[in-house]
Amino acid sequence: MTPALKDKIAHLPTEPGVYLMKDRQGEVIYVGKAVNLRSRVRSYFTRGGDERAFIPLLDRILGDIETVIVGNEKEALLLENELIKKHEPRFNVKLRDDKQFICLRLDVRQDYPRLEVVRRFQKDGALYFGPYSSASSIRETLRIINRYFQLRTCSDHVLQNRKRPCLLYQIGRCPAPCVYDIPREDYHRSVNEAVLFLEGKANELVARLKLRMQEASRELRFEEAARIRDQLFAIERSLERQKIATSEPIDQDVFGMHREGERLLIYVLYVRQGRITGGQSFPFGGQEFPDAELIGSFANLYYGSENFVPDEVLLPVELEGCAALEELLSERKGAKVRVIVPRRGEKVDLVEMAARNAQQAFAERKRDQNETLAILERLQKRLSLTRLPRRMECFDISHFQGASIVASQVAVTDGETDKARYRRFKIKSVQAQDDFASMYEVISRRLRRGIAEGDLPDLLVIDGGKGQLGSAHAALKDAGLDRQIDVVGLAKSRDLLARTAGGRKNPLGPADDEKNRSFERVFVLGQKDPIVLPPNSSELFLLTRIRDEAHRFAITFQQNLMRRRNLRSALEDIPGVGEGRKKALLRTFGSLKRIREASIEALSEVVGPAVAERVHAWLHAPPDKGADGDADDAVREASLEDAQSDTAGSTPRIA
């Protein structure tokens, strides 16, 4: 450590704040908070003050320490959260995706509330339930609500514009408030009962339903009584599966952790109204700092992601600044929140249960990683690769009848899809259908960006045979990377009994018969014949999975572009119709088909009389004089919901 840095540490402020440790290149490697900055930072360098494995490395990698003074511990928590998200330091725990908390939302203020799946808790006056540990658990809950409480599932737009009941009404899963005049009192009675079910208030809900069943039976409404009886049975069976964890009917998040060296897994057990409803694991690597700091930093990030804040947070270790975390969570919830480290009783049992779940999840993850490593090693050996393919990227070309040529890039890191590295390409240098030239352009652009950013994969997987493989190799060679990155081509299986006559295929046997199809073939450079991996091997499954994902990603992108192009050609080419009027028309009528069927008077209410006449004339003109008659009707008549889904949410970058 330089004398200047030693002197800086000795004269750090004693106020609360945040400290940023930087390496000798100026990159932030750790962000921490402290009640007393000088005391906290000096503890890292005091003999016997810290025995972590990370501390001996500080003398070699630490270049500077920057501090930010704040007014109190709560402000330090908030600033730490923001700086960790901004700098993503290598030694901090980081929540990579804060959209993973699946929950249910029910806005009881609506006339006919809808239960919907959302990714964020918001202070919008609606009721939120969750988070749920997995998509399967939330589907099971929705299935019960849909079957026995019969709340609508359609969007508000469909509710307001539907003309006849949907299939859910036909099978008795929805009363169809979109079409029929359903009494609001009856519907809200079902809403209130669904809320009781979602909150786990079994006694109150069962008592209500039994009373309704007896009343229906006395009035000789036996079909309704039988339906309520079945509803009671299903609800009691569902609630029995939820273990009663505490005698207090409150919401709790219970944190447990397990670590082996620098590898760490934190498990959050969800307890709602005294019942265990699930849990979620969060694995991290490269964590050298002590348990208390990691748990505190994780809790700050976890509840900073608009996640549900419970009545109590149970932790396995004492935190510095626990009172500040309590104050911050209480402010976010709008009610008192307790952050405690239990010492005895049923809450200690909950923390131990969370720790056991963390240990089990850690062991399963470790076993999966070992199996993945073995698969990658076998793949490297069988394909004679120069490097272990821990980072693989697959490329596919897609077009529509030779037009709208696009390409996709999907990535797999250590056997898991890496969506942060997904990319979409619009082909720029090729006008007609030429898969070889298109592949050369895409790989060249990917390599140029990779060289500039220092981000290159271990293996390129090309969807295609020798021709596509040769184009990719030419791009690698031109970039000077042909000896640094491996590349293979993966060709799909084909029908062995197909024969061509007059340019058309005449299958001589059943095309979908597995016995009549070839194996998937892997083409490698320098070998005339392809390599055939065992049909049921994990190595082939890994390659085909990434190939199929690249194909899906490319097709989706190409279809979206076609849809946008046809929507634009059908509406935006009309004189006087721009983006605003196009959206207004689609929002009002829902699809091009309904716009075409609308009268001039109906169109006038949206865009005015003059423009309405032009729109009506254009859409009813012959194909060669008005709308794009050559476009596929199924694509052109895409609904507003489809059009909006193209731009909704976070989408991968277009390279």
Most confident of 57-61, 158-162, 402-406, 517-521: 158-162
- pLDDT score, position 498: 55
Judge whether 253 and 271 are in contact, CB under 8 Å. Answer: yes
Q: Which helix (H) or strand (E) holds 365?
A: helix 346-382
Question: Using CA atoms, how far apart are residues 574 and 596, in angstroms rounded to an integer?
Answer: 13
Per-residue pLDDT, 315: 92
pLDDT higher than threshold 90 for residue 195: no
Residue 45 reports pLDDT greater than 80: no
pLDDT above 70 for 630? no
> How does pLDDT run across 456-469, given as a tens digit for each residue?
999 999 988 888 99
Distance between CA atoms of residues 560 and 642, nearest Å: 9
Give residue-wise pLDDT tens across range 518-544: 678 899 988 888 888 887 788 889 999
Alpha carbon distance 63, 184 (integer Å): 67
Residue percentage of the chain with pLDDT more than 90: 14
pLDDT of residue 616: 84
What local confidence, expressed as pLDDT, does residue 429 receive?
Answer: 80
CB atoms within 10 A of CB 647: 9
Preceding omega of 389 cis (within 30 degrees of 0): no
Beta strands in 470-554 (DSSP E): 486-491, 498-501, 504-507, 521-524
* pLDDT tens digits, one per residue of 326-339: 888 888 888 899 99
Phi-psi region of 201 (alpha: psi -120 to 50; beta: other; left: phi over 0): beta
* pLDDT over threshold 70, residue 504: no
Res 625: pLDDT: 44
Question: Measured between alpha carbons, how far is 60 from 55 in angstroms, rounded to an integer?
Answer: 10
Of 528, 539, 447, 526, nearest to 485 by C-alpha is 447
Residue 311 phi, psi (nearest 5) = -75, -30
Note whether 369 and 414 are within 8 A (CB): yes
Let me know: does 406 contact 425? Beta carbons within 8 Å.
yes
Instruction: Please write the tens of the pLDDT for every residue from 74-97.
Output: 888 888 888 888 888 888 887 765
614 vs 204: CA distance, rounded Å: 61
Beta bridge partners of 393: 411, 460
Contact at 8 Å (CB) between 235 and 336?
A: no
Q: Which two tokens stand for residue 288?
A: 């050298």
Residue 182 pLDDT more than 90? no
276 DSSP β-pair partners: 271
pLDDT digits (tens, 9 = 90+) for 240-283: 555 555 667 788 899 999 988 778 899 998 888 777 777 888 88
Q: Are 67 and 79 in contact (CB under 8 A)?
A: no
For the ranges 149-163, 241-255, 343-357, 393-407, the one whose mean pLDDT is highest:
343-357
Q: Six-digit token pair at 88?
A: 């993503």
pLDDT for 600 beyond 90? no
Structural domains in the chain? 3-87 (3.40.1440.10), 252-364 (3.30.420), 391-395+422-536 (no CATH)
Prediction pTM value: 0.59
- Average pLDDT of the residues in 406-413: 91
pLDDT of residue 104: 85
**Rounded to an integer, what distance in angstroms lies between the CA atom of residue 477 and that of residue 469?**
12
- Residue 229, token pair as written in the block: 């009886």
Task: Evaluate if residue 579 carries a pLDDT over 80.
Answer: no
List the beta bridge partners of residue 417. Answer: 412
